[in-house]
Amino acid sequence: MSSEYPELIWLDGKLIPWADANVHVLTHSLHYGLGVFEGIRAYKCENGKTAVLLLKEHVERLINSCHIAGINLPYSNKEICDAIKLLLTENSLDEAYIRPLDFIGDGTMGIHPKENPIRLTIAAWPWGAYLGDDGLDKGIKAKISSYTRMGVNSFMTKAKICGNYVNSIQAKIEATSMGFDEALLLDSEGYLAEGTGENIFMVRDGKLKTPPLTSILEGFTRNCILRLAKDNNISVEQQRFTRDELYIADEVFLTGTAAEITPVREIDLRKIGTGKPGKITKKLQETYFNIIRGKNEKYAEWLDYL
Ligand SMILES: Cc1ncc(COP(=O)(O)O)c(C=O)c1O
């Protein structure tokens, strides 16, 4: 394993060497995709300490994803939060992307997981801007995917279920192989849903618009933007919109723990607004980055210090 990775991984209650964190090839989740995961970030703050962003909330979503998936996770929120903090401390990570993954181990084969063990692993490693530093700064190029987000009775949209991401992977590969940075997926009725791992916002005439929660993941970064918009008197509508409305938006941006606040400068080869990150996007981005670096006391409750 590459030396750029940290020393330890948490697996089933223990910290073990990164290279030893392996599973059997008959691991049930590998075959059928039933497992759930989270994406969390820890940042080094202005005061020199490390804080995990919305830690309890992310762990609660992991527990909820398990509940939706019908998996009995044998750990409490506190036990998982403590494990994450221990992992960061023992690996001396002052800044990290954190990936808890709850999966079904090997035992019986076949669709029904029966009594196969429920396992939990947590990895953490340094990870820069998900869509690139340039993307954060200048904006990315996106494509409306030819893949549709699956219908809400097939795809449990409120859960980060591993198998859900096959749809995202197909869309991402298609878009990037055509020279775009990210794919935007429409729902089964043709309205904007979300990116492959991000929520979407558009700005028109000074107002924000984002799809309602009907067919999307309830993103925490989306929630942060809703709160920041309210606190800054920017009006927000949670309403469906179409791809052509997006083409004539003044600004578009994506939100996600990994992607943070990433401006979109072009969609389907059409310039968005001026083709540069707009004023509202930049203001929200700057406010968000100040908060996660511990520079804004008003939102101190979003941060959980090690
Ligand atoms: C499909 C999807 N939508 C939206 C998001 C954004 O969610 P969050 O802001 O909680 O990271 C993610 C990332 O977790 C995602 O995978």
pLDDT at 225 (0 to 100): 98
296 to 52, 286, 306: CA distances (angstroms): 15, 11, 18
Residue 2 scores a pLDDT above 60: no
pLDDT at 174 (0 to 100): 98
- Strands (E) in the chain, as ranges, are 8-11, 14-17, 35-37, 40-44, 50-53, 96-104, 118-125, 140-148, 182-186, 192-195, 199-204, 207-210, 236-238, 251-256, 260-267, 270-271, 303-305
Percent of the chain at pLDDT above 90?
97
Q: Of 103, 104, 87, give the one whose Cα is nearest residue 5.
A: 87
Nearest residue (CA) to ligand 1, atom 4: 198
**Between helices 77-90 and 55-69, what is the axis angle to 10°?**
130
Ligand 1 atom at minimum distance from 38 CA: 14
Tens of pLDDT, residue by residue over 179-191, are 999 999 999 999 9
Tens of pLDDT, residue by residue over 139-155, are 999 999 999 998 999 98
CB atoms near residue 141 (< 10 Å): 18
Q: Of 12, 6, 76, 95, give the one whose Cα is nearest residue 306.
A: 95
Tens of pLDDT, residue by residue over 212-271, are 999 999 999 999 999 999 999 999 999 999 999 999 999 999 999 999 999 999 999 999
pLDDT at 4 (0 to 100): 76
Tens of pLDDT, residue by residue over 196-206, are 999 999 999 99
Tens of pLDDT, residue by residue over 113-131, are 999 999 999 999 999 889 9
Distance 242 CA to ligand 1 centre (A): 20
Give yes or no: 295 in active site.
no
Which domains does the chain possess? 8-125 (3.30.470.10), 133-292 (3.20.10.10)
| Residues in the ligand 1 pocket, defined by CB under 6 Å | 39, 194, 197-199, 217, 219-222, 255-257
The rounded distance, in Å, linking the Cα atoms of 39 and 118 is 19
Q: Of 103, 95, 101, 104, give the one whose Cα is nearest residue 122.
A: 101
Q: Of 180, 133, 105, give the one whose Cα is nearest residue 285.
A: 133
Pocket probe mutation, ligand 1, options 41, 184, 224, 257, max atoms within 8 Å of Cβ: 257
Residue 1 scores a pLDDT above 90: no
Q: Given 85, 160, 172, 209, which residue is catalytic?
A: 160
Q: Of 254, 253, 255, 259, give the one whose Cα is nearest residue 280.
A: 253
Residue 3 scores a pLDDT above 70: no
Q: What average pLDDT score do residues 30-48 get? A: 98
Distance 257 CA to ligand 1 centre (A): 7
